[in-house]
Amino acid sequence: MSDYNIPLIGDRFPEMEVQTTYGKISLPSNYKGKWFVLFSHPADFTPVCTTEFVGFQKKQDRFKELNTELIGLSIDQVFSHMKWTDWIRDNLNVEIKFPIIAGTESIANQLGLIHPGKGTNTVRAVFIVDPTGVVRAILYYPQELGRNIDEIVRMVKGFQVSEKHGVAIPANWPDNELVQDHVIVPPPTDQATANERTGDNCFDWWFCHKKV
């Protein structure tokens, strides 16, 4: 068991100053007012990680449209990150335009990124953090499985739609098998409201949906 208090959903992201390919940044304070997605990778110069970084970069504009910044992390040093991103630029014609943290073992342990059975390599973790610095989602992937970047975009958008309209987000939204691009209306809290829940947009009083 670790002595570190790994942040959970609903916790404030721990305060830390980190060294990145863009210089030192303070988390989460440097991103106040913005969402950010911090994702760790096992190591530089590895094939699956390379496909992920290209995938994140290809979606960076989509994240920015959602007021969301990207931050990478592994325990490799900054010079290794820079050499790797240079290789990606020179060989794959993709320039990585977001910072990559040179994570210390302390930072990796604090965020629960070191698997005891995998040596010192960091696992594939994703932290989605809101503009107030609160952790809204945490995803963990094994080393052998690359992430689906579209799902992370969907999650950020879903959180924002949920907050703005006070609704819940169905499975596979916006292509849900039952309600397509609609969202779920919160269930009623009293009998009178339940009695009013009828119509084409309700399967029953407890299962209603709407377009936003």
Q: In whole angstroms, what is the distance from residue 143 CA to residue 145 CA?
A: 6
Provide the 8-state DSSP code for 132: T
**pLDDT of res. 121:** 62
Query: What CA–CA distance (Å, rounded) separates 171 from 169?
Result: 7
- The CATH architecture that domain 166-212 belongs to is 2-Layer Sandwich (3.30)
Q: Label residues 106-136 b or e (16+ Cβ within 10 Å = b).
A: ebbebbbbbeeeeeebbbbbbbbbbeebebb
- Tell if the pTM clears 0.85, that is, is over it: yes
Give residue 112's pLDDT: 83
Superfamily (CATH) of domain 16-147 = Glutaredoxin (3.40.30.10)
- Structural domain spans, the chain: 16-147, 166-212
Note the pLDDT of residue 137: 98
CA distances from 12 to 136, 158, 168, 175 (A): 9, 20, 22, 31
> Which SS3 state, helix, strand or coil, does residue 19 take?
strand
Query: Quick one: pLDDT at residue 193?
Result: 86
- Count CB atoms within 10 A of the CB of residue 105: 12
pLDDT of residue 2: 42
- The pLDDT of residue 80: 97
**Who contacts 27 (Cβ-Cβ below 8 Å, separation ≥6)?**
13, 14, 15, 16, 17, 18, 38, 71
Catalytic residue among 49, 73, 123, 179: 49
CA-CA-CA-CA torsion for 113, 160, 18, 116, nearest 10 degrees?
A: 0
Give the pLDDT score at 116. Answer: 64
Q: Is the dihedral of CA 53, 62, 169, 34 positive or negative?
A: positive
Are the C-beta atoms of 209 and 170 separated by less than 8 Å?
Answer: yes
Q: Is 49 a catalytic residue?
A: yes
The first and second tokens of residue 141, run together, are 């992937």
Low-confidence stretches of the chain (pLDDT < 50) are 1-3
H helical segments located in the chain: 47-58, 60-65, 78-92, 105-110, 149-165, 191-196
